Amino acid sequence: MVIADLHIHGRYSRATSPKLDIPNLEKWGKIKGVDIFGTGDFQHPLWNTHLKEHLIEDDSGILKTPSGSKFILQSEISLMYTQNLKGRRVHHVLLAPSFEVVDQITEAFLKKGRIDYDGRPIFGFTSIELVEMMKEISDDIEIIPAHAWTPWFGILGSKSGFDSVEECFGDKVKHIHAIETGLSSDPSMNWRISSLDKFNLVSSSDSHSFWPWRVGREATIFDCEVSYNAILKAIRTGEGLHSTIEVDPGYGKYHFDGHRKCGVCFSPSESIKHNGRCPKCNRPLTIGVLNRVEKLADRPEGFRLDGAPGFKRLIPLSELLSGFLGVKQLYSKNVFAKYMSIVDKFNSEFDVLLNESKDSLLKVLDSKLVDIIMSNRRGLIKVKAGYDGVYGEPNFSVGPQKTLGDF
């Protein structure tokens, strides 16, 4: 089993730490328990140079640091265009098998626009053209619609997305094998839309930071050989795609509808009562992921797709400690010190969250904190839903809702 976070960014992307580099990703990836990272932003000239300086390439398609940490070449691009008389803004993750292929992708992008101003470049061509362009270079390039339900930049988002993956890609949809769930949805929500049955579901953090409360907060677990071809096969066929790690969808910044400036947060039913408008300023609400899923769903809530990989809902350990200690900032001195003291006693954060027995945890941790960790493992942490760019807030009280361990 390997835990992979295949959608991150480098330090030349907007709103990222200037210290976000391969050495820090390697250090904190080990502490988190991530076995394979995406490189992020492989076409950006400065980041590409950084990758080539720090990563060693071999014929497996997996890049490695000198000490053995593993990476797959990955980037995200933003497409803004008009299709079917509607403005579209869609993000896609790209995976590539080698620097040679990345160099060809970069050359193709340079014919369409600039790639040096942001790690996630913006282009004006369509998703259909993207597929055509990538497949002309290599069939081993994988295109995955990123954070598929996000209102502003998701393929199925409320603001500029489509009603189906087929509508976006047309006859090129045959080259799309998976979509990324994003923080505000999980597989159980996606299973409600039968048109998505043909696509595998993957999860990644889309992290702009190397800190453990960001990297690996969502991830994909593979049960296959550690090679690019094996992981590509798992994404395309589901063979070797074991499960995903998800935050509670309410934790995401776009789960409910709302208007951040006015502090208005509505469930889908509440939005209907207000005709989709903010009661304070009368402007349209940002329609969130749950509402969008409800609109497109043709199956009831709770539907389980037979044969689909499972998933686990987990709130990051830093969030658990923040609640336990009563400290709001995840990066506070107290939270950070407690976090490091815990992971020093075990193999990694994921080992604590997923694997260590309750008895083992009780030997070194406060019983109340252990109860929170075990409740988290069973999917029982309640979350006040996020909306319009505001993260959801866990409250750590164990409620009567259904345990998700069986997924």
CA–CA gap between residue 376 and residue 257 (Å, rounded): 25
Angle between helices 367-377 and 317-325 (to 10 degrees): 140
Q: What is the predicted pLDDT for the residue at 328?
A: 86
pLDDT at 202: 98
Mean pLDDT value across the chain: 95
Phi first, then psi, for residue 221 (nearest 5°) are -105, 120
Q: Domains in the chain and their CATH numbers?
A: 2-250 (3.20.20.140), 317-378 (no CATH)
Q: What are phi and psi of 222, to 5 degrees?
A: -105, 145
Q: What is the pLDDT of residues 191-244, one digit of tens each?
A: 999 999 999 999 999 999 999 999 999 999 999 999 999 999 999 999 999 999
CA gap 199, 197 in Å, rounded: 6
Kindly report the pTM of this predicted structure.
0.95
Tens of pLDDT, residue by residue over 276-318, are 999 999 999 999 999 999 999 999 999 999 999 999 999 999 9
Using the predicted structure, report yes or no on whether residue 344 has a pLDDT greater than 60: yes
Indicate whether 398 pLDDT > 60.
no
Condensed to tens digits (0 to 9), the pLDDT of residues 53-104 reads 999 999 999 999 999 999 999 999 999 999 999 999 999 999 999 999 999 9
The pairing of strands 142-145 and 264-266 is unpaired
Asked if pLDDT for residue 402 goes beyond 60, the answer is: no
Q: Using the structure block, give the residue that is written with the tokens 């969030």.
A: 319
Helix (H) / strand (E) element for 145: namely strand 142-145
What's the angle, vertex CA 322, arms to CA 317 and CA 325, rounded to 5?
A: 120
Query: How far is Cα 62 from Cα 358, in angstroms, rounded to an integer?
Result: 35
